[in-house]
Amino acid sequence: MRIKTGTFAMLIVLVAAGAAQAGEITFGGITVATVLSGDAILVDVTNVPGGVDYGLFGDSGGNRAFGFNVVAPDAFVTISDLTPGFSYAGGGDLGGGLGDFEFVINGPHSPNDATLPLHFRVTRVGGFATDDALYEVNAGGYLFGAHIKELDGGRGSYIGASVNSAGDLAPVPEPASLLLLGTGLAAAVARFRRSRDRQDG
């Protein structure tokens, strides 16, 4: 009976560890990382380490810098905790032929003010079961879109993570999840050993 109890406890820990998920996709010199944290998805847009230094900025017709979608239901979604210099703009056409996104983040108008990293939090009524909720393509086939500027004097351009980029999407285990899993396994092994020692004695 004790062995069964230990195994059951280990299964509970495995399920709990699997609930905390993270993903990452790289395109056009920037990386988008998503982490499920409680009932929210945390998003960080950064430069690829060791690569060209890019920033995000808006175009001359607006201030649209980064776009993404949310797997339905996409109602009652809130965008918060934005990096200073950025703001939430609703949805619409990001520009550059990337098409409409359900959610668009505004950046600086001037490429001279382009900046990274960008951080924000996505929440919705009912929460999220996984960070995969942010990996939905728009009508143009793009998961994410961005308007970037090479900060060493290069020209700005629109870039998009298309469905063809999905191969770059890789689950990244969170340290907290690994710790939880390791603790659960250690407890299950200890319980099994105690039960075995009592039976032998």
Residue 132 to residues 27, 34, 47: CA-CA distances in angstroms? 17, 8, 21
Distance of alpha carbon 43 from alpha carbon 120, whole angstroms: 5
Closest residue by Cα to residue 83 from 58, 56, 112: 56
Backbone dihedral region for residue 152 (phi beyond 0: left; psi -120 to 50: alpha; all else: beta): alpha
CATH, domain range 21-172: 2.60.40.290
Which pLDDT value is given to residue 55? 93
Q: Which of these, 86, 47, 92, lies nearest to 68 by C-alpha position?
A: 92
Q: So what's the pLDDT on residue 151?
A: 84
CA distance 78 to 140: 24
pTM: 0.74
Residue 119's pLDDT band, with cuts at 50, 70 and 90, is: very high
Greater pLDDT, 181 or 118: 118
Query: Contact, 158 vs 147, CB < 8 A?
Result: yes
* 8 A C-beta contact, residue 58 and residue 138: no
The domain segmentation of the chain, as residue ranges, is: 1-20+174-201, 21-172
pLDDT tens digits, one per residue of 145-165: 999 998 876 678 999 998 766
Q: Is the pLDDT of residue 62 over 50?
A: yes
Query: 19 pLDDT exceeds 60?
Result: no
* pLDDT band with cut points at 50, 70 and 90 for residue 82: very high
